[in-house]
Amino acid sequence: MSTLLKLENINYSYIDGGMKRTILKDCSFEFEAGKFYTILGPSGSGKTTLLSIIAGLDTPESGTFYYEGEDVQKIGLNKYRRNKMAIVFQQYNLINYLTAHENVLLAMSETDNPIPKNKKGVAYALLEKFGIGRSKANRLVSKLSGGEQQRVAIARALGSNVDLIFADEPTGNLDTATEEEIIKIFKDLTENFGKTVIVVTHSNAVSKLSDLRVKLEDGQLRLMNSDE
């Protein structure tokens, strides 16, 4: 397996109440392509911050991370977000005055990746695949349930035809049954679509289904043993 994402000596800290808090300290790690990763760690360990950095939403104090061997800063963070990765948030982060279908189309329109000409049809098909039928697809996302919105968010992530998908506590707001469905979808993305999925979670149930579990501890990432 080849390395898709490589972190090299990433440092990140912030000032909180006058005190400097170090989140990442010379953090280095390699994520392989086509795997389902979960990142675990205690609350406040910096999981979401780490995800923000590797998803190009924030910049580290120092250090470099590479996508397929290319320095992401050189790719350009905006281009990286548009063409290389997609992210699924705990809060879904959909545009509320657009329908489910239009939210998916938004991602498809912005990316420079090759997208089939029949964008509308593909967007409907993606939503259908995640259980959002045509009538729900044409509803404003604010009219959908939490689980449905998260499915729309996943469909949007796939819409831009990227190989790397991040998810930040994607099941945090969902009931157990829906949580299982969403995790199955992520699992399916790696197994059947060859995507690399990196999920930040505090849920053991979720992490158990992943291929590899990574722990963020003392500002460092390390692979967890199967018995941990």
Partner 1 sequence: MNFFQRALKNVTRKLSKSMLLALTFFVIGNFVIVGLGISNAAEQAKVLTRKKMRAAITYQMDYDAFYEYVQNLPEDEQQDAYNHYPYITTDEIEALMADDRLSSINALTTLTAWPMDFEAVPLNNEYEQRENGSSMSCYIDENGQEVCEEYVWIEPEIFIKANAYPNMIEFADEMFVMVEGEMFSQEEIDDAAHVCLITDTMAEYNNLSVGDTIEISFESPADFNSSFNSWYQDLGITEEDVKMELEVIGIFNNMTEVDPTAENFEWMSKMESPENVVLMPDSVYAEYQYNLSSISWDYYKEMWPDDEYYQNDDNRPTMDSILSKTSVTLLLHDPLEVDNFVEEVEATLEGQFRELNANNETFKQLARPLDTLTLFASLIVGLVLINAVVIITLVTALTLKTREYEIGVLLSQGVSKLKVVGQFFVELAIVAIIGFTLSVGSGTMIAGKVGEEMLQYQVEFAGLEQTENEDEDHYIGNWNDSYFTEISLEDMVSEYKVDISPLIIGEIYAAGLGIVLISILIPSFMIMRYNPKKILMSAQ
Interface residues with partner 1 (CB under 8 A)? 52, 55, 57-59, 78-83, 86-87, 89, 91, 93-98, 102, 105-111, 140, 156, 160
**Minimum CB distance to partner 1 smaller for 46 or for 213:** 46
Tell the smallest beta-carbon distance from residue 173 to partner 1 (Å). Answer: 12
* Angle value at C-alpha 49, between 170 and 28, nearest 5 degrees: 110
**Minimum CB distance to partner 1 smaller for 160 or for 190:** 160
Tokens 């469905």 belong to residue: 181
Tokens 């006058």 belong to residue: 18
3-state SS string for 162-207: CCEEEEECCCCCCCHHHHHHHHHHHHHHHHHHCCEEEEECCCHHHH
**Minimum CB distance to partner 1 smaller for 65 or for 207:** 65
Classify 219 in phi/psi space as left (phi over 0), alpha (psi -120 to 50) or beta: left
Tell the smallest beta-carbon distance from residue 130 to partner 1 (Å). Answer: 18
Tell the smallest beta-carbon distance from residue 172 to partner 1 (Å). Answer: 13
Q: Retrieve residue 97's tokens.
A: 């005055």
**Minimum CB distance to partner 1 smaller for 60 or for 213:** 60
Spatial CA neighbour of 41 closest among 32, 33, 50? 50
**Minimum CB distance to partner 1 smaller for 195 or for 213:** 195
**Minimum CB distance to partner 1 smaller for 156 or for 215:** 156
Tell the smallest beta-carbon distance from residue 199 to partner 1 (Å). Answer: 17
| Packing angle of the helix pair 119-129, 100-110 (nearest 10 deg) | 120
- Cβ proximity of 10 and 40 under 8 Å: no
At residue 122, the 3 state secondary structure works out as helix
Tell the smallest beta-carbon distance from residue 227 to partner 1 (Å). Answer: 34
Tell the smallest beta-carbon distance from residue 58 to partner 1 (Å). Answer: 4
